[in-house]
Amino acid sequence: MQEQRTQTQKRRALLGPLWLQVMVAVILGAAVGALFPHAAAHLKPLGDGFIRLISMTLAPIIFLSVVLGIAGMGNLHEVGRVGVKALVYFEVLSTVALGLGLLAVDVLHPGSGMNVQPAALNAQAVSGYAAAAHHQPGVVEFLLNMIPSSMLGAFSGGNMLQVILIGLLFGFALSQFRATARPLIEILDLVLKAMFGIVNLIMMLAPIGAFGAMAYSVGQFGLASLEQLAQFTVEVWLVALLFVVVVLGVIAKFARFSLFQLLRYLREELLITFGTSSTEAVLAPLMMKLERLGCDKTVVGLVLPAGYTFNADGTAIYLSMGAIFIAQATNTHLTLRDQIVVLLVLMLTSKGSAGVAGAGFITLAATLATMPQIPVAGLVLLLGVERLVNAARALVNVVGNSVATIVVARWEKAFDAECAQRVLRNQTEISS
């Protein structure tokens, strides 16, 4: 593993660190998309291919991480304690993100003055999202859908909640005869290291994926699309930045680590997330980096995958702002009670969209469907800037889950603070 990492570092050194390659690729992609929009439309497979390569490793990595995390803890009480702490943290932070988004859109009123007539909106443009929203599962169906019809089906279908459930059950089973199962646990650990080795190889293609994704986005929507709904887009980014700097910054301060040093440490993953608008693309690298930072691998293996489902702070900000923005744009009056209902609904719907393509948009459609006074067709107003705000959502989700993993590890006294200080200050280790 060390030899493979050294060879990868040498290859990267020829073109500079990976984060710099990704940054250059994003800039070049935007330029190509602006100058050659028709040609850029054909570059979409580059980004899609990179995401698929990463996605094919997610199910086995999450399964193995959860199994080894539980087997390594040794008793079910410890697993339950970590899980409860993580879920409480996730719910509190998601609620804060939703509330911050509602407050911001109420104060700034980005949709006021648009005077859009709901009857004039092109409902066909969002019919696919609305149809998907009608199929959003209720609480009972959501819980039942966590149970796969077969174990192999969970892996082939890429349903991460089902994979996590299988990993939990497998880990619990192994923990009951841990001494006897030690050879199997060691084999699984080797398999996990091999999967991370595959991810290291795939990450060498990150600049190509980021280039293709950015070129397609700019070519498809054009630079003029940056002006469409500019106020709402800028405000989503500002609120996202405020949440990271203030809310996560305060949490980091109490947890006694520097948020800005952490952001610098994760710069490669953040740039890839920005270029691809995908959090899945950096899950495996995040797990490796958080372990290297000093978080116990058992905590990382449990908290980070769960956070991808239950701790989407960036998505929560977008959902609350998007719902009220549509109401403002269509001159739909919402009382304080109505907004509280929207907040409560979002607290539920934002947790049930993991693994769904266009999850944020579909969840917003499902939320609007519960509020008859807000026209679902108003979603068409956000189509033009969906790609722009999606990057903000993804970035906040990545940072939020990284901070959550460190915080839970500190609570569990499973965080090596001295190691973290060395790594965060020694930037030569960051590009590894």
Q: Which region among 53-57, 111-115, 325-329 has the lowest average model confidence (pLDDT)?
A: 111-115
State mean pLDDT over 304-327: 83
List, for residues 339-348, the tens digit of each pLDDT value: 887 777 777 6
> Nearest-CA neighbor of 401 among 297, 318, 282?
282
Most confident of 218-222, 291-295, 311-315, 318-322: 291-295
pLDDT score of 232 more than 80: yes
CA distance 217 to 238: 21
Place of tokens 């969002």: 126
State mean pLDDT over 22-38: 84
Q: Residue 118: pLDDT band by 50, 70, 90 thresholds?
A: low
Report the C-alpha dihedral over residues 92, 96, 99, 105, rounded to 10 degrees: -150
**HSE on the CB side for 309, CA within 13 Å?**
19
State mean pLDDT over 266-288: 84
Residue 248: its pLDDT value, please? 95
DSSP class of residue 118 equals G
Residue 408: its pLDDT value, please? 92
Q: Residue 394: pLDDT band by 50, 70, 90 thresholds?
A: confident
**HSE on the CB side for 206, CA within 13 Å?**
29
Residue 399: its pLDDT value, please? 94
CA distance 415 to 82: 13
State mean pLDDT over 294-317: 84
List, for residues 70-79, the tens digit of each pLDDT value: 776 655 666 6
CA distance 198 to 282: 13
Most confident of 92-106, 329-343, 367-381: 92-106
DSSP class of residue 415 equals B
At 22, which helix (H) or strand (E)? helix 18-35
Residue 74: its pLDDT value, please? 55
Q: Residue 357: pLDDT band by 50, 70, 90 thresholds?
A: very low
CA distance 213 to 207: 10
Q: Which region among 248-257, 335-344, 360-369 has the lowest average model confidence (pLDDT)?
A: 360-369
CA distance 373 to 351: 23
Percent of the chain residues topping a pLDDT of 70: 75
State mean pLDDT over 22-41: 84
Q: Which region among 129-133, 322-326, 374-378 has the lowest average model confidence (pLDDT)?
A: 129-133
To the nearest whole number, what is the mean pLDDT of the chain?
Answer: 77
Can you read off the two tokens belonging to residue 30? Answer: 């935007």
Residue 282: its pLDDT value, please? 86
Q: Which region among 301-310, 339-348, 399-408 has the lowest average model confidence (pLDDT)?
A: 339-348
CA distance 340 to 193: 46
| Domain 2-425, CATH | 1.10.3860.10
Residue 398: its pLDDT value, please? 92
Q: Which region among 161-170, 216-225, 393-402 has the lowest average model confidence (pLDDT)?
A: 216-225
Residue 428: its pLDDT value, please? 44
Residue 333: its pLDDT value, please? 80
Most confident of 162-176, 251-265, 290-304: 251-265
Percent of the chain residues topping a pLDDT of 90: 13
pLDDT score of 140 more than 50: yes
Instruction: Tell me which of 62 and 351 has the higher pLDDT.
Output: 62
Residue 261: its pLDDT value, please? 92
Q: Residue 430: pLDDT band by 50, 70, 90 thresholds?
A: very low
State mean pLDDT over 191-212: 84
Q: Residue 259: pLDDT band by 50, 70, 90 thresholds?
A: very high
Residue 105: its pLDDT value, please? 87
Report angle CA 156, 312, 377 to the nearest 5 degrees. Answer: 90
Residue 226: its pLDDT value, please? 44
State mean pLDDT over 235-258: 93
